[in-house]
């Protein structure tokens, strides 16, 4: 029988802002607003614990992804995105995580901040972000307010 203990946080959680960027904490995963909003609503979907390979995750972590992706896709629809890209890169930050990028075919203004998706319809530009320093904080506050109950 699998333990109900939640795996510990890893360094990648802190690297992406820790508690300040946390949107939702599931048993096996955390959803964080991405500090650099490459597109409006960009997130980090991060596995708890030390795993540095997708196949090394516990079975429960794989199983929980269905619920989390439904939550992400349900909430992101409010921004009017056309698609969502899930990119598992793990080159700089080694713990299992996805960069979750809603994709847009046009510029979007959210709370007075203009968000673009210069890579559309091709690869997203992860280095792109709006000039407003408070962009991630504003997006995070909005997402926390509408995130489904856990």
Q: What is the rounded CA–CA span in Å between residue 125 and residue 91?
A: 16
Looking at residue 1, its pLDDT comes to: 41
Q: What sections of the chain are H helices per DSSP? A: 11-15, 59-76, 135-146
CB 147 within 8 A of CB 26: no
Looking at residue 91, its pLDDT comes to: 86
CA neighbor of 32 nearest in space, from 41, 43, 48: 43
pTM, rounded to two decimals: 0.94
pLDDT tens track of the chain, all 150 residues? 455 577 789 999 999 999 999 999 999 999 999 999 999 999 999 999 999 999 999 999 999 999 999 999 999 999 999 999 999 998 899 999 999 999 999 999 999 999 999 999 999 999 999 989 899 999 999 999 999 998
Give me the architecture of the 11-146 domain, per CATH: 2-Layer Sandwich (3.30)
Structure tokens at 40: 């409006």
């Amino acid at each position: 029988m699998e333990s109900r203990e939640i795996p510990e946080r890893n360094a990648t959680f802190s690297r992406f802002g820790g508690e300040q960027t946390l949107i939702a904490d599931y048993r096996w995963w955390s959803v964080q607003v991405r500090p650099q909003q490459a597109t409006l609503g960009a997130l980090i979907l991060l596995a708890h614990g030390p795993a540095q390979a997708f196949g090394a995750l516990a079975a429960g972590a794989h199983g929980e992804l269905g619920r989390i992706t439904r939550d992400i896709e349900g909430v992101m629809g409010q921004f009017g995105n056309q698609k969502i890209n899930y990119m598992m890169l793990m080159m700089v930050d080694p713990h299992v995580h996805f960069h979750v990028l809603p994709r847009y075919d046009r510029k979007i203004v959210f709370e007075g901040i203009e968000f673009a998706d210069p890579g559309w319809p091709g690869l997203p530009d992860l280095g792109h972000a709006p000039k407003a320093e408070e962009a991630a904080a504003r997006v995070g506050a909005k997402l926390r307010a509408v995130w489904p109950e856990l």
